Amino acid sequence: MSYQQAVWAWNQHLRAGGVTPWREWLRTRPEGGGTDDPHVPAAWVPPGAAQLEFVRLAALLGAHDPRFVRLADLATGRSGPGRGLAQQPLWWPPDVPGRRFGAPPVDPSQVPAEELVRVGVGALVELLLAVPEPPPRVRRRSRTARWRSGYVVEGAPVTRSALRRSLAEQGYAEGGRRPRVLLAVEPFDDLLAQVWSARVQRGAAVRWHGFVRRWAGRAALPPAADLPALARSWADRVGVDRVHVLVGADSSFDPAAAVRPAGRREEGVAGPEPEVRDLSPAAVDVLRRVNAVLSVRVAPERQRSVLPGLVDDLARVAPPGPGLTVPPPFQDWARSRAERIADELRSGDYPVHGSLEGILPRVAGLRTHPSRQDALAVVLAACLRQVR
């Protein structure tokens, strides 16, 4: 059996839901059976080790689904998008004839997770684009308080989004002429990670490390993370006493207490759909990789139409879990920036709920970049969900 025939036969094994690793399959494949000398179609291009190993891992999770074979063919019929390692042939006992040059062969089980994620993202993009363009989502707008004073939530985007939804569900209306302002403050590293997540959910493709590096090199902060500027801007409009600084999710302060004077309008109202979902770092990482591919595949409008459904799926397949902290080269910067923010908020005399110490970055015990293994689990689950 030639290399090409062996790869073809293993591919067929995987398409049928087989999960035997390559080297074990080579060792144990039936001698003299129908698979020993398979006919390989002339136009068939052998996939690389990463593509086939991705299919094997997907089979471990979802081979029972009748549409699994579609995912298998998508993953093996195209190469991983963007930059990465060259497509590597599979390990083969003797030297592969005609293969003195090119990327070195690899045992598929040794392919780095990064390459498997790349293959998965390529397949995921195909699945996303195969679905007809959905009608534009009509966002349920939150009710606004036009004549009475309502409230406004600013600050950490994910926390802000959840808070808005929670208050709306309790019947409070946003906006108004002199709203009460709730400024959601989180530890600075989490605050940055939330801004990163929000940007990726809107279509950005920037890596976490690059995002932090970019802002660490600037004097300014991302607008949603520039809490003193937000507080000042609102204080100028509504007065210092109406700007409530809410530190951390564990604050004993009930946010509704600040907006209660505005009064409830209606009980049992569904809140607005969250603008920013609470995604795990690995899910955000997968999403930003998908964004990178979509940016070269489709127009921005199409990308915008695809993202909400994918974000919903990613939120389902990957629970948020512990967040990210900033990479080591930027930890001193993060601490000094957080201290400055705390000082500025303190000197602004705003009502503060919780301790402003809570804005200091947490650092210890947290990942400094999304886990590639987690990203692989996310992209596998997202692909299997999309193909169904």
359, 341 contact by CB (below 8 A): yes
Q: For the purposes of burial, counting CB atoms within 10 Å of the CB of 134, is it exposed (0-12), middle (13-18) or buried (19 or more)?
A: exposed
Q: What is d(CA 216, CA 196) in angstroms, rounded to the nearest whole number?
A: 14
Residue placing its CB nearer to another protein in the complex, 72 or 243 = 72
Residue from 32, 34, 66, 104 touching another protein (CB under 8 A): that is 104
Mark 122-161 with x for binding to another protein (rule: CB under 8 A) and - for no binding. Answer: x---------------------------------------
Residue placing its CB nearer to another protein in the complex, 86 or 130 = 86
Closest separation between CB of residue 17 and another protein, Å? 23
Residue from 52, 54, 81, 311 touching another protein (CB under 8 A): that is 81
376 binds another protein (CB under 8 A): no
Closest separation between CB of residue 344 and another protein, Å? 22
Q: What is d(CA 7, CA 9) in angstroms, rounded to the nearest whole number?
A: 5
Q: 90 - beta bridge partners?
A: 106
Residue ranges in the chain assigned as alpha helix (H): 3-15, 22-28, 49-62, 68-77, 113-130, 157-169, 188-201, 208-216, 227-238, 255-259, 281-297, 300-317, 331-347, 372-387
Q: Give the interface segment with another protein, choosing from 46-54, 136-144, 156-164, 226-234 (CB under 8 A).
A: 46-54
Q: What token pair was written down for 151? A: 């409230």
Question: Which residues from 183-212 bind another protein, rule CB under 8 A?
Answer: 205
- Please give the DSSP secondary-structure letter assigned to residue 1: -
Closest separation between CB of residue 218 and another protein, Å? 5
Q: What is d(CA 330, CA 334) in angstroms, rounded to the nearest whole number?
A: 6
Residue from 9, 11, 13, 48 touching another protein (CB under 8 A): that is 48
Q: Give the interface segment with another protein, choosing from 182-190, 215-223, 252-260, 365-373 (CB under 8 A).
A: 215-223
119 binds another protein (CB under 8 A): no
Contacts of 155 (CB under 8 A, 6+ apart): 182, 183, 184, 185, 186, 191, 224, 227, 230, 246
Residue placing its CB nearer to another protein in the complex, 15 or 143 = 15
Q: What token pair was written down for 96? A: 């592969």
Residue placing its CB nearer to another protein in the complex, 130 or 299 = 299
Residue placing its CB nearer to another protein in the complex, 106 or 158 = 106
Residue from 96, 216, 315, 360 touching another protein (CB under 8 A): that is 216
Residue placing its CB nearer to another protein in the complex, 51 or 194 = 51
Q: What is d(CA 281, CA 199) in angstroms, rounded to the nearest whole number?
A: 13
Q: What is d(CA 160, CA 5) in angstroms, rounded to the nearest whole number?
A: 56
Residue from 33, 239, 263, 300 touching another protein (CB under 8 A): that is 300
Residue placing its CB nearer to another protein in the complex, 89 or 176 = 89
Residue from 32, 41, 98, 268 touching another protein (CB under 8 A): that is 98
Residue from 54, 215, 234, 350 touching another protein (CB under 8 A): that is 215
Q: What is d(CA 12, CA 29) in angstroms, rounded to the nearest whole number?
A: 13
- Taken in order 11, 12, 17, 23, the sign of the CA dihedral is negative
Closest separation between CB of residue 205 and another protein, Å? 7
Binding residues (CB under 8 A) for another protein: these are: 43, 45-48, 77-79, 81-87, 98, 100-104, 122, 205, 213-218, 292-293, 295-300
